[in-house]
Amino acid sequence: MQTDRIGVNAVGLIFEKIGFAFREQPIEDYGIDAIIERRVSGKPSGELIGVQIKSGVSFFNEVKNNKVIYRGKLSHYNYWLNYSLPVILVLYNPETELCIYELIDQKKIEKTDRGWKIEIDCSNELEKSEIALTAICSRQSEYQTRLNTLAFSKGLMALAEQGELIAEIMEWVNKSSGRGEFILKKVDSDGNETLLSESAIFGFGLKSYEEVIQELFPWANIEVDALFYDVHGDKEFIEYSRNGRKIYPCENRAGEVDFYRLILSLNEVGKSFLTLNTFLNEGEMYHVRFDQ
């Protein structure tokens, strides 16, 4: 487990250095450890790639012609090829700090008696992958980008459908980068809170956080946690910050950070997507084209 965490942390840092936001999956997702998002002029682009990370010296034991041979299970093979996002496999060697990657592509995979294998060139270093990963992102249309963004959030949508989903957001009001820290929690029927994810995101610039928050969660109805605001908020600051706004902070900390606590519930976009997702996974239909 320690080796896994070392690998995830090291890989996440590399992605951040080459201009990709790195987000571990807040909901357990079979075979996908994280999602990366390309930044354009420092801002999130909505162009996403799924990432599977394998950390350990043992993954580098089989090398031929300066290429590492990775052998996988058929269950992962089918899952990755049918995933809603492009998927890259990243191998990290904690002893040498070599970090290499390859796009999961059917043309690059060879089936074996027990599963499948893919060759990853040792020169395919993640630190030098910005141009290649940007090319993968650039193949995504605006339609695909929006669909992928929703697909990435389907775990959160399912939680929002089941019960209360909380977002605690800290906006650094004096930073021109538009930095924000985002904490997602689920709340059970007894009021117990469970942390789902915690991350810092940059690149929103001077854009209003009322807009930023709605664009980050297009599948959600968003409202302030009125009870929390009444009990824990700064009443004078709330009166000042509300000013006719639907989404507003409840306090300012040290003159630097505006703090929001928001309740996320499914809107019509979220409900419709979950219905569509169920059909895509389980529905039956004839594959007939009528445009020929």
Question: How would you classify the pairing of strands 34-40 and 43-55?
Answer: antiparallel
Question: Is 160 found in the same domain as 143?
Answer: no
Question: Is 132 found in the same domain as 157?
Answer: no
Q: What's phi and psi for 54, nearest 5 deg?
A: -120, 115
Question: Is 158 found in the same domain as 64?
Answer: no
pLDDT at 233: 94
pLDDT at 265: 93
Domain contains 281: no
Domain boundary among 82, 117, 151: 151
CB-neighbour burial class of residue 163 (10 A; exposed 0-12, middle 13-18, buried 19+): exposed
Q: What is the dihedral of CA 46, 15, 175, 237, to 10 degrees?
A: 70
Where in the sequence is the domain holding 160, given as residue range(s)?
A: 153-271
pLDDT at 231: 95
The domain total for the chain is: 2
Question: Is 6 found in the same domain as 141?
Answer: yes
pLDDT at 32: 84
Question: Is 172 found in the same domain as 61?
Answer: no
pLDDT at 124: 96
pLDDT at 236: 94
Catalogue the long-range contacts made by 227-232 (C-beta closer than 8 Å, 24 or more residues apart).
228/261, 229/261
CA 256 to chain centre: 27
pLDDT at 26: 60
Question: Is 244 found in the same domain as 134?
Answer: no
Domain contains 279: no
User: Which 8-state DSSP code applies to residue 275?
Assistant: H
Question: Is 167 found in the same domain as 130?
Answer: no
Question: Is 142 found in the same domain as 166?
Answer: no
Token digits of residue 14? 């590399």
Are 136 and 48 within 8 A, CB to CB? no
Are 48 and 85 within 8 A, CB to CB? yes
Question: Is 95 found in the same domain as 15?
Answer: yes
3-state secondary structure of 155: helix
Token digits of residue 111? 């089936």
pLDDT at 27: 55
Question: Is 95 found in the same domain as 37?
Answer: yes
Question: What CA–CA distance (Å, rounded) separates 134 from 45?
Answer: 11
pLDDT at 292: 54
Q: At what angle do helices 154-162 and 142-152 cross, to 10 degrees?
A: 50
pLDDT at 149: 80
pLDDT at 164: 83
CB-neighbour burial class of residue 18 (10 A; exposed 0-12, middle 13-18, buried 19+): middle
Profile the chain (292 residues) by mean pLDDT over runs of 10 residues: 79 92 69 86 81 93 95 83 86 95 92 90 95 89 81 86 90 81 88 85 77 90 95 94 92 93 95 89 71 58
